[in-house]
Amino acid sequence: MKNKQKNNKQIAITVKNLHITYRGLKKTSIRASWGKLKNKVELFQALKGVSFEVEEGKILGIIGKNGSGKSTMLRAIAGIFSPDKGSIDLHGNSISLLSIGVGFNKKLTGKENIYLSGMLLGFSEAEINKKEKEIIDFADIGDFINKPVKTYSSGMYSKLAFAITAILETDIMLIDEVLSVGDKTFKEKSYNKMKELISDEHRTVIIVSHSLGTIAELCNEVLWLNDGEVKMIGTPEEVLPKYEEFMQ
């Protein structure tokens, strides 16, 4: 059994005492900072000791004001960011991140990126080939599928990214605000597809969204991050009213 158990439930994701700090240079002239860069580094703590667990089959929503660490948390779980301190255990599960601006080589065509993304998710070329037509049909971006991704609008980008992640199903899906991007028809199609995917009792999903309606409808649990720390975790009924009160 690959996952550890908690109250007879399988645990899909364990995050313990996670710290991530960004480092950047203060705004100053090159001449003024020449030879003194060590004194000009600014540190920003994006995550400060975050800990939580997600049971297999659960849908966790992450909420918080801008700059609270939501997207950083998702990218850390996806393996894009390395923690400065703490650990993330996926208990042997495969994982995919659905986020605008992440995962595509913009010089390659949409079709080439289907294969690149699929292989990065751990699928074989033969497995991707079986799903290629379904992905292209779902994305519905016409002849742009054979053009470089750098020519895509944000809507086309999101359609293809969603199609790849939705059709090439992994054990854990991480979704960063993508459900709110695209035209009305695609929003409805992607929303319905997401509801279909998360109905699988073995699939674990984490959704970052500013849409409290989406969080309330789709999620079993809600994690509220504030200034890089866990403010509250619980059911949508427990957390969302407190969050709305706080934001007012």
Q: For residue 46, what are the contacts with CB-CB under 8 A and spacing of at least 6?
A: 20, 21, 22, 69, 72, 228
- DSSP β-ladder status, 172-176 and 95-99: parallel
3-class SS at 212?
helix
pLDDT surpasses 60 at 39:
no
Judge whether residue 180 has pLDDT over 70.
no
Tens of pLDDT along 69-104? 999 999 999 998 999 999 999 999 999 887 765 668
Q: For the ranges 24-38, 129-143, 183-197, which has the lowest average pLDDT? A: 24-38
What three-state secondary structure class fits 73? helix
**For 229-248, what is the mean pLDDT?**
96
Q: Please give the domain boundaries of the chain with CATH numbers for all domains.
A: 59-82+93-247 (3.40.50.300)
HSE value, Cβ hemisphere, 13 Å, CA-based, for 25: 10
| Rounded Cα–Cα distance for residues 188 and 183 (Å) | 9
Mean of the per-residue pLDDT values for the chain? 87
Beta-strand relationship, 59-63 and 85-89: unpaired
Alpha helices in 107-211 (DSSP H): 110-120, 125-139, 154-167, 184-198
Per-residue confidence (pLDDT) for residue 50, from 0 to 100: 98
